[in-house]
């Protein structure tokens, strides 16, 4: 068991709902040894949104490369995929 704290990132996905969005994004994460810690998704009137909190501690590529891979997959799925390190996300969204 890994005793060091997880390095986390927040991934958001938005676009028109279609088959394969969750599978496509999850496949990129799995291939790069990124563990999904929490996930929420919804589809409202044909619009799809998803937020994932992931553990990037064991990621096989740099965070910048992971972001590029996710953005590329998003384009192939016709959705927008954004990834931010958790600490940056929390800093940007503090009240």
Query: Using one digit for the tens of pLDDT, what is the confidence trace for 15-54?
Result: 999 999 999 999 999 999 999 999 999 999 999 999 999 9
- DSSP-derived secondary structure for 1-60: ---SPPPEEEEEEEEE--TTHHHHHHHHHHHTT-EEEEEEEEEETTEEEEEEEEE-TT-S
In the predicted model, what is the mean pLDDT of the chain?
91
| Average pLDDT of span 58-74 | 97
The domains of the chain, with CATH numbers, are 8-92 (3.30.70.260)
Q: In this predicted structure, what is the pLDDT of residue 95?
A: 55
pLDDT score, position 92: 63
CB 81 within 8 A of CB 71: yes
The arithmetic mean of pLDDT across residues 67-85, rounded, is 97
């Amino acid at each position: 068991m890994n005793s060091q704290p997880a390095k986390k990132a927040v991934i958001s996905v938005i676009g028109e709902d279609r088959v394969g969005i969750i599978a496509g994004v999850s496949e990129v994460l799995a291939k790069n040894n990124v563990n999904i810690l929490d996930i929420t998704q919804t589809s409202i009137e044909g619009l799809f949104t998803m937020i994932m909190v992931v553990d990037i501690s064991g990621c096989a590529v740099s965070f910048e490369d992971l972001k590029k891979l996710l953005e590329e997959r998003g384009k192939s799925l016709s959705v927008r995929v954004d990834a931010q390190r958790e600490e940056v996300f929390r800093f940007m969204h503090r009240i």
